[in-house]
Structure 1
Amino acid sequence: MEVVNGGNGANAQYSVEKLVDTNYKYLRMCMEAYLLGQDLWDLIFCANTEIPVDTPGNAEPRRKWKIKCGKALFNLRTLIRREFIDHVRDVNSPKEV
C-alpha cells in the first residue's frame, strides 16, 4: 500500500495493487481493513449479507443496503485486474466476490 499524491494525515489517499495470482492474502488484508473502516465489512461476514425482502416496510433498509452493496462491489471490483474480472462480472453480492 502506498500513499498517492503526497497526502498525509486525514487527506492521505492510498493505492493498493490489483489482484493477481500471487497477492491474494495481501489484497484480502487491505480490503478487509478498508471495508471495516467504511462500515461495509458486515456485507461480507455478518447476518445482513443478503438484500432485505422487498416490502413496503423494508423500502428504506433495502435502499440503504443497495447503496452499501454498490460501494463494496465497486471497491472490490476495481481491485481485480482485467484478466480476472470475468470471475466476478455477474456477481451481485460483495460476499460472493
Structure 2
Amino acid sequence: MMSYMQGQNMWEVVDGNEVTQPEAKDANGTLRKWKIKAGKAMLTLKTTIEEDVLEHIRDAKTPKEAWDTLAVLFSKKTTQGFNF
C-alpha cells in the first residue's frame, strides 16, 4: 500500500510532510490540491481493505489518522499470532 501511494504521489498526506490540512487557501491553490490528494488517499485506503477493518477508519478525518489507526490495528493482530 505504501509503495502504491508513493507511486501515485499520495504518500505525503498519509505519512509525509503534508499530513495536516493547510490552514488557508493561497494563490497556488494549496488547500484545494491537499484536499484532492487527501481524498484520493482516503479512497484508496477505504476501497482496499475488508469491511470489518473499514469500521475502524470510517470516521477518520485525515489519511494520516486512518493510516495510524490501521498501523495500530495490524500491529495488535500480528502480536496476537496473525500474520498479514
Question: What is the one-letter code of the residue matched to 1:66?
Answer: K
Partner of 1:76: 45
Residue 94 of structure 1 and its aligned partner are, at CA, apart by: 0.9
User: Equivalents in 1 of 2:57, 2:10: separation in Å?
Assistant: 18
Could you report, residue by residue, the CA deviation over 1:43-67 in whole angstroms, capped at 9, with x for unpaired residues? 1222210010025x26710000000
1:39 and 2:9 aligned: yes
TM-score with structure 2 length normalisation?
0.70
Runs of 4+ aligned residues of structure 1 deviating over 3 Å after TM superposition are: none
User: Equivalents in 1 of 2:33, 2:21: separation in Å?
Assistant: 10
Segments of 5+ residues of structure 1 without an aligned counterpart are: 1-30
Higher helix content, 1 or 2? 2
Superposed CA RMSD in Å reads 1.5
Segments of 5+ residues of structure 2 without an aligned counterpart are: 67-84
Residue 40 of structure 1 and its aligned partner are, at CA, apart by: 0.6
- SS of the equivalent of 1:65 reads helix
**Structure (1 or 2) with the larger CA radius of gyration:** 1
TM-score with structure 1 length normalisation?
0.62
Partner of 1:15: none
Aligned pair count reads 66
